[in-house]
A and B are shown apart, each in its own frame.
Chain A
């Protein structure tokens, strides 16, 4: 099915404006709708057959925004948009909105969320749609058609509409942290058991930082905060007029970025420079601090700690470079060299 030209842009523009308005009230949406006179989107001399097809495609485009991973506000906007389009259509009998079976639990959860948050206007709109029998309950979201496509259109998500995808958070969840904590405790206990002094582990055995789990949690929280701030700044930066304000915003963004980069560099420096002094018996096998240009690693694996060398760390890079993926010469594991290190 070829897309209706210009439709996606128009919908996104309206939803964008709605997101800027930073509210979920229907009155606000209706104002934006009336400003753009969106109900005229079905105008133009279209004959019945073509009109059916176009309306179906329009509703299909609009309903994509109704599901995750779009953010809450966009989803409410999509609900209003569907309501508006459904009522503004000129087809008789009206074309319906296709909802797939797999989406229904999400929609019901969404409705409950709306009720809890007391957004009664959104709930009312949804109820109106249900009562008007506006939905087709289907097995699959897209109706299949069989035309050879000249090029496969990849559906893309508009970045700003999405909830910031927090990959770090989804990786380091509470469960994972708890698990790590447990393993860490167990590990410490094992070390105590096998070392001579039963109350604390042998110095030779301490190869990881004791509080690395707590550090990990802090880093994750910091990352999340930073990401939220960045999203906010990005959004504001878009709206700000093209004056020095914008430049200021950009430099603020940049400085945010570089701040972040500096913070990262500092953390790396700390973790990689904390080398435990090995015991005398193993003096010939001192660990040497190898300077690496590796990219950021969140300390997920307990890296081998290195000798505490106060040699200036060339790994400190300002600007945005550390934030991006630098060219890694090798992954951050240090090499143990068979020589005395300098202290």
Chain B
């Protein structure tokens, strides 16, 4: 009965702004809409907008099949912004980031596994002489160490024997002279869940992997889980926002994503030059597979691979 006081009597189309509105908001909005109608030919959502909206809302209201995976009341939900490590000039004003939702009871290692960074997929080595033998190992498998830095404590990933304590260098450096950092500690990442940490909202923290690939992590929001959120534990950490990076296309065909990059290439017009697999082989190798010309070739993984 109280609800009836709110809505109007007749059927209204929410798309149409009423003519004689007394609300300033609507008058301004109407002018903006009219301007849009004049200038834009086709007014519909572009790909990026659809993607952003889908990512934000695809998981709302989801329930798990297995009732043990249901998230209980009182669970905390953190929103983290993880910034990309690339530094482009055009990103001067706002650095691109991805937004991840994480449960309070999840371990730090789960977050680490969910962060997808292009440097994890790099294949090291020069393969101009043996292009077919580019190994399948990616950096993710070779260099497994990583750490988080929250509030003076380094959380190192020690799940595998190959993992090294990357933070040891930093701790030794800070202890060598009195540099003004109070005792920095180093602990194991897999022993901690987010509920154990003490965090500041809005303060930049660090995630470092591959030895030198550093991501800034900022926590933007902590709140209690809500009935309308996604309550399936398996879907967390949940990616809700991602920056769209344009992929680099092959220089020759301009159609396929680049898979090879060459330096000091006598056959290529610029240095470095990007090629897709087919064009690369066609240009640099003859029918028998002999190398033509002088060049250095590296396998290339485009940052836009996660689009």
Contact = CB atoms under 8 A, between A and B. Distances in A.
B122 to A, nearest CB: 28
Contacts of A184: none
Given A52-B56, A87-B6, A144-B221, A133 B226 contact: yes
Identify the interface centre among A35, A36, A47: most chain B CB within 10 Å of its CB.
Answer: A47
Interface residues of B, number: 48
Contacts of A145: 220
A113 interface: no
A5 B29 CA distance: 8
A186 interface: no
A88 interface: yes
Interface string A134-145: 001111100111
B15 A40 contact: no
A93 B61 contact: yes
Contacts, number: 131
A280 interface: no
A4 to B, nearest CB: 6
Contacts of A41: 23, 25-26
Given A47-B45, A138-B223, A6 B21 contact: no
Interface string A23-42: 00011001001111111111
Given A40-B18, A146-B218, A93 B60 contact: yes
Contacts of B3: 87
Contacts of A30: 5-6
B114 to A, nearest CB: 21
Contacts of B23: 6, 10, 36-38, 40-41
B287 interface: no
A151 interface: no
A26 B3 CA distance: 12
B22 interface: yes
Interface in B4-44: 5-8, 12, 14-18, 21-30, 33, 43
Identify the interface centre among A4, A96, A128, A136: most chain B CB within 10 Å of its CB.
Answer: A136
B255 interface: no
A148 interface: yes
A324 B61 CA distance: 59
A264 B70 CA distance: 69
A48 B53 contact: yes
B221 A6 contact: no
B202 interface: yes
B226 A37 contact: no
Interface string A92-125: 0110101000000000000000000000000011
B223 to A, nearest CB: 4
Given A34-B5, A38-B23, A128-B2, A136 B224 contact: yes
A96 B221 CA distance: 14
Given A6-B25, A10-B24, A139-B221, A146 B81 contact: yes
A125 to B, nearest CB: 7
Contact of B26 (A26, A44, A143): A44
B24 A42 contact: no
Contact of A5 (B18, B25, B56, B81): B25
Interface of B: 2-3, 5-8, 12, 14-18, 21-30, 33, 43, 45, 49, 52-53, 56-57, 60-61, 81, 93-95, 97, 201-202, 218, 220-224, 226-228
Interface of A: 4-7, 9-10, 13, 26-27, 30, 33-45, 47-49, 52, 84, 87-88, 90, 93-94, 96, 98, 124-125, 128, 133, 136-140, 143-148
